[in-house]
Amino acid sequence: MVSSLDTVAERLGLDPTSPLLVMALTHSSFAAEHNVESNERLEFLGDAVVDLAIADLIVTRYPQLDEGSGSLVRSRVVNEAALARAARRLELGAVLRVGRGVRKENGAERPSLLADAFEAVVAALYFERGYDAAKEFVHAALADDVVAAALAPGDVDPKTRLRQWAESRRLGTPLYEVSAEGPAHAATYYATVRVGDLVAVGEGRSKKSAEGEAARAAWLGHDDA
């Protein structure tokens, strides 16, 4: 019977018993409980590989974009929300090894954990099969996001869009409150934004990304979105 791990490994072109793949799917909460290495170092490398692969795709396929527009496209693709969506398409949440507390809270589906896991499996692929294989995988996983971003590279970020909307309705400046949970090296940030009677929340791996996700939720939730 084919397991979820077998399916993920096949999509990556890796052996399901690969120690690097297993490490890439090991969150720090599981690592602490079982005295094994987490995916944090792989995530660090994978972040750079994904960034380079997407920059390569933008420069190669969209020669009409200048440096500024290309940077905007990349920022809309290489971010927590987009990487988490890619991880869900790969069904990484089903095979991500997390600690008991995180599992109890369904934490394996958190965008921050999924985005980290995506970057970590990219790094595992880089080590096992080389940069070209990792690049092709990233391109396949995120090509649709790049296409959508390239169609409108000048779109403003969610916080700016929400602020402009609020100002146009004379609601004042959106107010953000941010808290963090977990150790400093692997904290999850939670943001709440209030504008008029509208309240929305978001989470992320940084204060900035959490605020951006809250702004996005607020924008999608207002009456004339």
Same domain, 190 and 97: no
- In this prediction, residue 1 carries a pLDDT of 41
Same domain, 180 and 195: yes
> How long is the chain?
225
Spot the catalytic one: 47, 80, 203, 211.
47
Q: Which of 151, 167, 184 is the last residue of a domain?
A: 151
User: Could you read off the pLDDT tens digit of each residue along the chain, which spans 225 residues?
Assistant: 446 899 999 999 999 999 999 999 999 999 999 999 999 999 999 999 999 999 999 999 988 888 878 888 888 899 888 999 999 999 999 999 999 888 888 777 888 899 999 999 999 999 999 999 999 999 999 988 888 888 766 666 778 878 878 887 888 899 999 999 887 666 788 999 999 889 999 888 778 878 888 888 887 777 554
Same domain, 118 and 165: no
CA distance 190 to 4: 30
Same domain, 147 and 48: yes
List Cβ<8 Å contacts ≥24 apart for 37-45: 39/116, 39/117, 39/120, 40/116, 40/185, 40/186, 42/119, 42/120, 42/121, 42/123, 42/124, 43/116, 43/117, 43/119, 43/120, 43/123, 44/123, 45/123, 45/126
Give the domain CATH number at 176: 3.30.160.20
Same domain, 66 and 115: yes
Same domain, 128 and 206: no
Spot the catalytic one: 43, 80, 116, 119.
119
- In this prediction, residue 154 carries a pLDDT of 62
- In this prediction, residue 37 carries a pLDDT of 96
Rg value, the chain, Cα: 19
Give the residue numbers spanning the domain of 212: 158-221
Same domain, 114 and 164: no
**Element (H or E) spanning 180, and its range?**
strand 175-181
Judge if pTM exceeds 0.75.
Answer: no
Same domain, 64 and 166: no
CA distance 121 to 74: 20
Instruction: Summarize the chain as % helix, strand, coil (round to 5).
Output: 65, 10, 25
Same domain, 191 and 89: no
Establish whether 33 is a catalytic residue.
no
If one counts the domains in the chain, the total is 2
- In this prediction, residue 65 carries a pLDDT of 83
Same domain, 25 and 124: yes
Q: Which residue has the tokens 């792989």?
A: 42
Do 7 and 121 meet the contact criterion of CB atoms below 8 Å apart?
no
Q: Which of 102, 124, 151 is the last residue of a domain?
A: 151
Question: Of 47, 76, 81, which is closest to residue 202 (Cα–Cα)?
Answer: 81
Give the domain CATH number at 54: 1.10.1520.10
Establish whether 67 is a catalytic residue.
no
